[in-house]
Structure 1
């Protein structure tokens, strides 16, 4: 991407100003070409971006992520065998085990951060990007939905869950034979797609459409 410096202009209208997320310096909002970035003239942080084909690429990744998340809930996550005894567990089995082991709050938090919040964020993004992609009428609720999808991003912790699983696998593998199921690989792909979504989603482009197309 091409980087261009931001331009500070204290006399500009409020709607035409953008604050630097790093140092809060106000800049005049610029019109960017596809592939350009606007950076703060003081600290160099990114102010604006205009990413290539952001809506189509992000929407495709969001829809694929929804499918992978649902698949990870329906299929076996891990299977364990030792001394002729086999056991298979899914993500929902792990949550229910916490519920029935007097750890209701931990099970609820696990379900929320691994399933409910990521799924809600993906559904909100799919709704907003889908209506933009197919040129549907912009509704007021779309702005709120997109705002909440951004706010929920740090709380969708499927990646943290997978790091914990990998650490546990290393420890348990010395005690029994472990086999990863399709749900494990689905969640692993979901983590990769989450990173891709963050890279391709151009928030400035989406906000511009939601703001100026009523």
Structure 2
């Protein structure tokens, strides 16, 4: 049974520079930025932020296996979301079906070519690269083996790409646009739209299970 406990808050920092060992014992909450002292946890325990309750440290096996499984799921959903039909628009007896890749490539020539590239990079390439970086980092850890070479760099890259992975923003923008188009034509959702919706849920679950502290400790035990 998993037992959750709150980490003690850190004392106000002095102007004296902290040593490397002291800095390693401090952990900031990613949600509210509250600073905590890290204390040893017994097997089966997890630690939460004292201010907002965000899980900061979770058992390594739970975090690694679940995040890797959700990353694999997200990759499969992303492939379906990009190449399967996304929307079908019908008006006055005419119908047109398009995918995300087809819609982006429609602007691949002329002055709007940079827009096509931006859509593919932000909506597709960056999320895929982030999922691959997480899988590369967590695969050996889930099997109880030493991490791959440059795994720490890959995990850091996955964290840096998170704010730029905007698949969910794309779906929200599409939904807003459909509200305006619905009065002019009949709009049907294809399987890619529902794959994007499932991708948002899977990504949220992955972020919830991701224990950065536990993974960093597994990558660098010292």
Shorter-chain TM range is: 0.7 to 0.9
Unpaired stretches in structure 2, ≥5 consecutive residues: none
Picking from 49, 53, 67, the partner of 1:39 is: 49
2:26 aligns with one of 4, 13, 18: 18
Contact 1:18–1:47 (8 Å) recurs in 2 = no
Structure 2 residue 169 is matched with structure 1 residue 160: yes
Deviation at 1:95, TM superposition (A): 0.8
**Structure 2 counterpart of 1:206:** 215
Structure 1's unaligned 5+ residue stretches are: none
Q: Distance in 1 between matches of 2:91 and 2:210?
A: 45
1:56 pairs with 2:65: yes
Q: Which residue in 2 is equivalent to 1:177? A: 186
Query: Contact 1:81/1:176 (CA < 8 Å) preserved in 2?
Result: yes
Partner of 1:98, secondary structure, is: coil
Residue equivalent to 1:127: 136
SS at 2:106's partner residue? helix
Deviation of 1:8 after TM superposition, in Å, equals 4.1
What is the deviation of 1:23?
A: 5.8
- Structure 1 residue 124, shift from structure 2 partner: 0.7
Please name the residue that 1:85 is paired with. 94
In structure 2, the partner of 1:4 is 6
Q: How far apart in 1 are the matches of 2:27 and 2:128?
A: 31
The 5 A counterparts of 1:66-145 are 66-100=75-109, 102-145=111-154
Distance 2:163 2:24 in 1: 28
Once the two structures are TM-superposed, the CA of residue 137 in structure 1 deviates from its matched residue by 2.6
Structure 1 contact 6–47 (Cα < 8 Å) conserved:
no
Q: Answer yes or no: is the 8 Å Cα contact 2:134–2:155 preserved in 1.
A: yes
User: Per-residue deviation at 1:7?
Assistant: 5.7
Native 8 Å contact 1:58 1:200 kept in 2: yes
1:29 aligned to 38, 53, 73, which one?
Answer: 38
Contact 1:32 1:50 in 2 (8 A): no
